[in-house]
Amino acid sequence: MKMNANSPDVVRIGRRAFLTGGALVLGAAPATIASTLRAGERPAVRFGLITDLHHADKPPAGTRHYRESLPKLAEAAERFRREEADFLVELGDLIDAADSVAVELEYLDRIDREIAAIAERRHYVLGNHCVDTLTKPEFLGKVGQERSFYSFDAGDHHFIVLDACFRSDGEPYGRKNSEWTDANIPAHEVEWLRADLAANPKPTIVFAHQRLDVGSPYGVKNAAEVRAALEASGAVRAVFQGHSHKNDYREIRGVHYVTLVAMIEGSGAENNGYSLVDLDAGAIRVRGFRRQRAYDWNAPTGR
């Protein structure tokens, strides 16, 4: 789809919003646009992003078409394979809630088989629906992931996966013991985050489900505390998140916060949404497909 100045897919942030190569450039002066990643170039790191599939074998409810997550994922999978993504990140709410543990595990087993076929390296962010009926160990055990929050490196970048599926009293979500508006990153995870950031000076990308750039109901309750840790490190470039199902973007003190569109919303291929992220030489390029917006940032890396 061709974008123009009046297109709803163009986000205006102050006076620094430009279109180049079909991608939206934010926060870069015109003189620096030429140095961003160009279409067709192979970046140092490339990864796929999907979020809020809410896979379930049940009829549609409102705008949510649960069974269509499979064909929508298949389209994204074809793109990720063709463009040789180094890894895949699923930003939470992979499955929808079920009335029993057995049924919810069936949902998870079905969708995880499809994701496992896309990329050997894959990372799951816990969403509130992932651990509505299931416990965290049950979900993580099924997808073969040891921890709900951790970090890893790829190329010259550092990556952090966060888990905000904790109640205000510190109890983890599970077995229908929580309210989706009560999302928190507990003290022990914040301490781990600060230590991890201090030990890793590489340019850093953060993945979360609940949002770190807004307040309730979609935001993490102690988001300001978490943002302070990200900002203090001087290394965090961007945060990718889901949960509120709509495209959104904010820049807060030099950190880009991108909320991705949910795959579950709307019927048909035209209502799909997924992205590929390219990282190279200080540039971050988000190529959005279908309803997902595109972004392109050219910012300094490191501390």
Number of Cβ within 10 Å of residue 222's Cβ equals 19
Q: Kindly state whether residue 283 falls inside one of the protein's structural domains.
A: yes
User: Do the Cβ atoms of 15 and 279 come closer than 8 Å?
Assistant: no
User: Do the Cβ atoms of 25 and 11 come closer than 8 Å?
Assistant: no
- Predicted TM-score (pTM) of the model is 0.86
Residue with tokens 């896309």: 118
Residues 184/94/133/209 CA torsion (nearest 10 deg): 0
Q: Kindly state whether residue 1 falls inside one of the protein's structural domains.
A: no
User: Do the Cβ atoms of 48 and 118 come closer than 8 Å?
Assistant: yes
User: Do the Cβ atoms of 155 and 45 come closer than 8 Å?
Assistant: yes
Q: Kindly state whether residue 175 falls inside one of the protein's structural domains.
A: yes
User: In the chain, how many domains are there?
Assistant: 1
Q: How far apart are CA 86 and CA 176, in angstroms?
A: 35
Q: Kindly state whether residue 12 falls inside one of the protein's structural domains.
A: no
Along the 303 residues of the chain, how does pLDDT read in single tens digits? 333 333 334 333 332 333 333 344 343 322 232 344 565 668 899 999 999 999 999 999 999 999 999 999 999 999 999 999 999 999 999 999 888 999 999 999 999 999 999 999 999 999 999 999 999 999 999 999 999 999 999 999 999 999 999 999 999 999 999 999 999 999 999 999 999 999 999 999 999 999 999 988 999 999 999 999 999 999 999 999 999 999 999 999 999 999 999 999 999 999 999 999 999 987 999 999 999 999 999 855 443
Q: How far apart are CA 159 and CA 23, in angstroms?
A: 23
Show the domain range for 243.
25-32+43-298
Confidence (pLDDT) at 276: 98
Confidence (pLDDT) at 281: 80
Retrieve residue 116's tokens: 């496992």
Q: Kindly state whether residue 71 falls inside one of the protein's structural domains.
A: yes
Q: Kindly state whether residue 7 falls inside one of the protein's structural domains.
A: no
- Please name the residue ranges forming H helices in 57-212: 69-82, 101-116, 136-143, 187-199
Residue 221 carries which side chain, given as an amino acid letter? K
CATH of the domain at 86: 3.60.21.10
Residue 238, SS3 per DSSP: strand
Q: How far apart are CA 147 and CA 153, in angstroms?
A: 16
Any idea what DSSP says for residue 129? Answer: T
Q: Kindly state whether residue 176 falls inside one of the protein's structural domains.
A: yes
Q: Kindly state whether residue 160 falls inside one of the protein's structural domains.
A: yes
